[in-house]
Amino acid sequence: MTEAKPATAARIYDYHLGGTHNFPADREAAMAVAAMFPQVPLLAKANRAFLQRAVRFVIGQGVRQFLDIGSGIPTQGNVHEVVDGAIDDGRVVYVDIDPVAVAESLDLLEGNPRATAVQGDVRNPRAILDNPQVRAVIDFDQPVALLLVAVLHFVPDEAAYDAVSTLVGALPSGSYLIISHAVEDEVKPEEQDNIDTMKTVYKQRTATPLTLRNRAGVSRFFDGLELVEPGLVWVPEWRPEPTDPQDFVANPAGSAGLVGVARIP
């Protein structure tokens, strides 16, 4: 009998995006969250649209290398698809803590010589930076786009700030930091119980408990960097495009996430 696999944030996210790379435990956890917050699948899609916009932006700034940490499974319009659709010399490394997500990523990327996936934990950034597979694809003497999209809210406070500091410190001038982060800003009092329950779901069913921050807490990740316009904003407010999902346009705070892109000076 095949051993049941515990839920992971990566595969829960894949389920919300409409992907097929998830297991019963992931679907059960995802549905438990969606029962409290029916908008969660819409949030995932809005977040993915931001990722695509941000990647296209940094490509326009001349960046050709992408290090996506906490990537999950690269389905449903992920980084390498955006890169390959825009340029022919881009290189992408996906990093995720979940070995199953990495294995499935490698299957999906088979035949793509400019993209790969490795196992790594954002809480141990030095191991990611020193990984020979990462070094074989990414030249750290040239600008790199570091993506931490929907991952830092799964990392406790000081570990998250230390990790970002170490990763950014390894990148040359002209690199970019791309972050999206779930927040508790502007939560309605009647929703707080549901948020607390959602945190419990992640704590009990995954190895990555949820750590929501406020605007100041997310802004801290960009200390010392050059935030590009429009700065740190709600997900649908960052350089929107006509083809983006429109679910939160009328109420940007309803996206429950702040995003930003910053240049490393």
**Ordered DSSP codes for 59-118:** HHTT--EEEEET-----SS-HHHHHHHH-SS-EEEEEES-HHHHHHHHHHHTT-TTEEEE
SS3 state of residue 242: coil
Asked if 121 contacts 98 with a C-beta cutoff of 8 angstroms, the reply is: no
For the record, the structure tokens of 32 come out as 């438990």
In the chain, domain spans: 9-263
Per-residue model confidence as pLDDT tens for the chain (265 residues): 344 567 776 677 677 676 767 778 888 877 776 666 667 778 888 999 999 999 999 999 999 999 999 998 877 689 999 999 999 999 999 999 989 889 989 998 999 999 999 999 999 999 999 999 999 999 999 999 999 999 999 898 889 999 999 999 999 999 999 999 988 765 454 444 444 444 444 444 444 567 789 999 999 999 999 999 999 999 999 999 999 989 889 989 888 899 999 999 9
Going by the DSSP 8-state scheme, the letter that residue 183 receives in this structure is B
Asked if 153 contacts 212 with a C-beta cutoff of 8 angstroms, the reply is: yes
Tell me phi and psi for residue 117, to 5 degrees: -135, 140
Asked if 79 contacts 66 with a C-beta cutoff of 8 angstroms, the reply is: yes
Please tell me the CATH superfamily of domain 9-263, with its number: Vaccinia Virus protein VP39 (3.40.50.150)
Measured CA to CA in angstroms, residue 214 lies from 65, 181, 235 at distances of 30, 9, 14
| pTM to 2 decimal places | 0.84
Contacts within 8 Å (CB) and 24+ apart, 213-217: 213/153, 213/157, 213/181, 213/183, 213/184, 214/183, 214/184, 214/185, 215/183, 215/185, 215/258, 217/157, 217/183
Q: Which residues pair with 148 in a beta bridge?
A: 179
For the record, the structure tokens of 245 come out as 């999902």
- List the Cα angle 23/51/159 in 5-degree steps: 75
